[in-house]
Each structure stands twice: as structure tokens, then as C-alpha cells.
Structure 1
Amino acid sequence: MTVRAVYRHVDWRLTVDPNDDRPQYTAKCMTCGDIAELSFRKAAPEVWCLRHARRTGHQRFCTGALSFLIATCADR
């Protein structure tokens, strides 16, 4: 008996999650790894960076925006 595999290739697409359509912003200290809480306000992580720098003396940060996506099969 021979077992054969059937591969089905389908296209997928990403769309913004309608329940979470606003980006959330955050920041991370590159010195100690502390991370700012997610915020819908872009300025909040920047303020966190400045306060963290004042408190610790750390000077390097990484910031970013997170968007929530949904992957759906194009055949559906």
C-alpha cells in the first residue's frame, strides 16, 4: 500500500482586525530591556522613554506601533 500526500496550495491575505483597528504604541529600553505599556496614544511611550532616561540614565530606546491582523484563506 502506498501512502500519497495531497498538497493544496491556497492564497492567504491579511486584513486589519476590525475589533482592534487602532495601532498601539510601545517602547523598549535597549540597555535594561524594560518595556513601556501599550498605549493608543503615540506620545505615551515617548514620555515613558524620557522618564526612564531621567530615572536610570539609559539613553537607547526602540519604539514601534503594533497593528492587529487577521489571516484569512482567499478561498473562503
Structure 2
Amino acid sequence: MKGQSESVTEEKVTGHALHSVSDLLHKFSRWYELHRERELLASLSDEALKDIGVSRADVEHESIRPFWDDPIHK
């Protein structure tokens, strides 16, 4: 029985570590996505911004935000 207890503990630790790595990879992916979206927003023409109801000042404000500043996942 002693061997079984140690195995369960190892599985919990390994599962937790994999979950943490997965969460970290997801966070990095989200940060890259935010960075790309802000770059794309900044590259839009004034006409395109007007079409979507965003001012150039709004774009400037958004584009200077750091990549880790995620308005959805605070």
C-alpha cells in the first residue's frame, strides 16, 4: 500500500505541473494575440477607424498599453 500512496502523490504533482505549464502557454499566447491585435488596429486607415467608430486617439491609447494589460482577463 505504501507504493500506491506515493504513486498517487506523484500523479497529483505531475498533473498540477502540466496544468500550470498549460496555463502559462495559454497566457503567452493571449499576450501575443493582444500585441498583434493592437498592431493591426494601429495600422488601420482613418477611414477604416471611422467605419468601426474608433478615433485615432483611441488607437493611440490602446497601442501604448503593455502586452500583458489584458482588458478581458484582469
User: Which is strand-richer, 1 or 2?
Assistant: 1
TM-score band (shorter)? under 0.3
TM-score w.r.t. the length of structure 2 is 0.28
